[in-house]
């Protein structure tokens, strides 16, 4: 019995050593077969069972099985280690330089003027306005006469016009859209609209003048509309475009279609009103023209001016963008230098 036990211990040590010396899965399989295979060493030892007294047989069987399990555990341990080493080697080969640049996908940018128009549209839509559009080739009647600008009115000098025929022209403002809306409404419905669009003036193009530009006009007509409402609305726009905390100032001015007419200044977003080069030291920046709709305009489009009144405002989109982003040349909006356009990725 002693003999057998020693033999068993010897096999265990031999097998352990053999497994430890293995480096590949093939060698491991050989070693496994040698000790644990059907004709392996341990099964051979099991055959000695018949020579063992019956009383010791269970103990002997257990001892052999313990060694089998031990060796098998060692084999599995080693298999795992070898497999891990293989994976590690493979992964090591697949290592890349993660700092090299990735594939370039481009997300395009919307034009800065589109962005500003949409920003103002969204603000005013939230306040209940509808967005109205109209043709750029307009009649003299819609562009001027119905806006209290009869032929030979000196104020026509304020807007040099591209005429197409005696009676048709490139609209000089988006106000004709207001006229069209009032006429379509038949003179008895409140109106709350904004009209964005391209407009044209006979100007030589330079850093501050453009023969084509983008305008957003607003019009509210109702029985209770007041100049205070105009002020409140304009402040909301100023805060949207230039950031919260703006102040606005109305100065007397003149447009044939409004009375009173005002120029609207916003407190400078750059210096907060203390004076800088953007506001030329005044603390204020002129951003738009506005006023209460002239009774002649209401009447010309079918609204009873003793019952209805309204306010209107007109924003130059390029001017807002120039002030907001420090753009010095209005032509930049139409040159479409990609180094310019692509700066305005997300407002």
Partner 1 sequence: MKVSMNHLREFVKTDINVLDLAELFNTHSAEVEDAYELVQASKLVVGYVKEKTSHPDADKLSICQVDVGGQTSQIVCGAPNVAAGQKVIVSLPGAILPGGFEIKKADIRGVESNGMICSLAELGLDKKFVNADGIHVITEDCEPGDDPLDVLRLNDQVMALDLTPNRADLLSVMGVAYDTAAILDLPIHLKQPEIQEIDEPCPVAIRLDTKHCMSYYARVLKDVEIKPSPRWMQSRLIAAGMRPINNVVDITNYVLLETGQPLHAFDYDLLDSDTISVRLAKDGETIQTLDEQTRKLTKDDIVITNDKEAVALGGVMGGFSTEINDNTKRILLESAVFNPINIRKTSSRLDLRSEASMRFERKVDPARTILALERATELFQKYAGGTVYKGVSKVDNIDYTEPSVELKLDYLNGYLGSNLTAEEVSDVLRRLHLEHQLEEETFTVLLPTRRQDMEGVQDVIEEIGRIVGYDTLPLTLPDTVSVGGLTAFQRFQRHLRDVMTGLGLTEVITYSLVPEHRARDFSLDTAEYTKVLMPMTKDKSTLTLSPLVGMVDVLTYNTARKMSDLAIFEVGKRYDQNETITLAGALTGTLSSTLWNGKEEVVDFYLVKGLIESLLDNLYLDHMTYEPAEIKNLHPGQGAFITSRQGRVGFLGKLHPEYAKEHDLKDVFVFELNVGKLFELRRVQKKVKDINKFPDVERDIAVVVDEDVLAGDLLAAVNKAGKRMLIQSEIFDVYRGESLGEHKKSIAIKLIFSDPKKTLETKDVDTRVNEILGTLKATFKAELR
In the window 147-176, what residues touch partner 1 (CB under 8 A)? Answer: 152, 154-155, 157-158, 162-165, 170
> Could you tell me the smallest distance in angstroms from the CB atom of residue 335 to partner 1?
6
Cβ closer to partner 1: 39 or 103? Answer: 103
Among 25, 85, 137, 184, binds partner 1 (CB under 8 A): 137
Residue 292, sorted as left (phi over 0), alpha (psi -120 to 50) or beta, turns out to be beta
C-alpha 223/C-alpha 200 separation (Å) is: 33
**In this structure, are residues 182 and 191 in contact, taking their beta carbons and an 8 Å threshold?**
yes
Residue 23: CB partners within 8 Å, gap ≥ 6? 82
**28: closest CA among 66, 123, 37?**
37
Maximum alpha-carbon separation in the chain: 136
- For residues 115-136, one letter each, b for 16 or more C-beta atoms within 10 angstroms of the residue's C-beta and e for the rest, the string is bbbeebbebbeeeebebbebee
Cβ closer to partner 1: 42 or 170? Answer: 170
Cβ closer to partner 1: 293 or 323? Answer: 293
Is 275 among the residues that bind partner 1 (CB under 8 A)?
no
Instruction: Cis check for the bond before 260: say yes or no (omega within 30 of 0).
Output: yes
Cβ closer to partner 1: 16 or 212? Answer: 212
For residue 292, which phi and psi values (nearest 5 degrees)?
Answer: -90, 135
Site string for partner 1, 216-235 (x = CB under 8 A): ----x-x-xxxxxx-xxx-x
Among 8, 18, 42, 129, binds partner 1 (CB under 8 A): 129
Among 44, 73, 190, 281, binds partner 1 (CB under 8 A): 190
Among 92, 94, 98, 102, binds partner 1 (CB under 8 A): 102
Return the residues of window 322-341 that contact partner 1 according to CB under 8 A.
333-339, 341
> Could you tell me the smallest distance in angstroms from the CB atom of residue 271 to partner 1?
18
> Could you tell me the smallest distance in angstroms from the CB atom of residue 296 to partner 1?
8
Among 126, 186, 281, 326, binds partner 1 (CB under 8 A): 126
**Stretch of residues binding partner 1 (CB under 8 A), selected from 15-23, 41-49, 74-82, 206-214:** 206-214
C-alpha 166/C-alpha 109 separation (Å) is: 40
Is 270 among the residues that bind partner 1 (CB under 8 A)?
no
Is 98 among the residues that bind partner 1 (CB under 8 A)?
no
Among 90, 99, 104, 328, binds partner 1 (CB under 8 A): 104
**In this structure, are residues 134 and 182 in contact, taking their beta carbons and an 8 Å threshold?**
no
Return the residues of window 105-124 that contact partner 1 according to CB under 8 A.
105-111, 113-114, 118, 121, 124
Return the residues of window 6-65 that contact partner 1 according to CB under 8 A.
none
> Could you tell me the smallest distance in angstroms from the CB atom of residue 114 to partner 1?
6
Among 130, 188, 208, 277, binds partner 1 (CB under 8 A): 130
Among 92, 94, 103, 328, binds partner 1 (CB under 8 A): 103
**In this structure, are residues 161 and 268 in contact, taking their beta carbons and an 8 Å threshold?**
no
Could you please report the per-residue DSSP string of 294-347? PHHHHHHTT--TTT-EEEEEEEEHHHHHHHHHT---TTHHHH--HHHHTT-S--
C-alpha 18/C-alpha 13 separation (Å) is: 9
Is 101 among the residues that bind partner 1 (CB under 8 A)?
yes
**117: closest CA among 339, 333, 338, 343?**
333
- With CB under 8 A, what is the number of residues at the site for partner 1? 86
> Could you tell me the smallest distance in angstroms from the CB atom of residue 26 to partner 1?
38
> Could you tell me the smallest distance in angstroms from the CB atom of residue 11 to partner 1?
55
C-alpha 101/C-alpha 258 separation (Å) is: 58
Write out the H or E segment, with its range, that includes residue 190: none
């Amino acid at each position: 019995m002693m003999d057998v036990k020693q033999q068993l211990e010897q096999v265990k040590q031999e097998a352990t050593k053999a497994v430890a010396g293995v480096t590949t899965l093939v060698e491991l399989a050989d070693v496994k077969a040698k000790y644990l295979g059907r004709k392996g060493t341990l099964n051979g030892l099991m055959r000695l069972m018949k020579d063992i007294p019956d009383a010791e047989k269970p103990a002997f069987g257990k001892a052999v099985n313990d060694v089998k399990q031990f060796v098998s555990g060692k084999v599995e341990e080693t298999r795992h280690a070898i497999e891990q080493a293989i994976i590690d080697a493979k992964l090591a080969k697949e290592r890349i330089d993660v700092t090299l640049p990735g594939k370039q996908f481009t997300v395009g940018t919307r034009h800065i003027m589109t962005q500003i128009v949409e920003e103002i549209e969204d603000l005013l839509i939230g306040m209940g306005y509808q967005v109205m559009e109209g043709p750029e080739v307009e009649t003299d009647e819609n562009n001027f006469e119905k806006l209290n600008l009869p032929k030979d009115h000196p104020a026509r000098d304020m807007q040099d016009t591209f005429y197409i025929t005696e009676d048709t022209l490139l609209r000089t403002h988006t106000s004709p859209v207001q006229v069209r809306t009032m006429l379509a409404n038949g003179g008895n419905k409140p109106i709350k609209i904004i009209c964005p669009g391209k407009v044209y003036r006979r100007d030589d193009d330079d850093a501050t003048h453009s023969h084509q530009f983008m305008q957003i006009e607003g019009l509210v007509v109702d029985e209770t509309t007041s100049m205070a409402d105009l002020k409140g609305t304009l402040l909301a726009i100023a805060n949207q475009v230039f950031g919260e905390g703006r102040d606005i100032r109305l100065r007397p001015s003149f447009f044939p279609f409004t009375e009173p007419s005002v120029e609207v200044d916003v407190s400078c977003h750059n210096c907060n009103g203390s004076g800088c080069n953007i506001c030329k030291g005044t603390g204020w920046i002129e951003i738009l023209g506005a006023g209460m709709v002239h009774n002649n305009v209401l009447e010309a489009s079918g609204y009873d001016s003793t019952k209805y009144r309204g306010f209107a405002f007109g924003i130059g989109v390029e001017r807002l963008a120039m002030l907001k982003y420090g753009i010095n040349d209005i032509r930049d909006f139409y040159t479409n230098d990609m180094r310019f356009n692509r700066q305005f990725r997300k407002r």
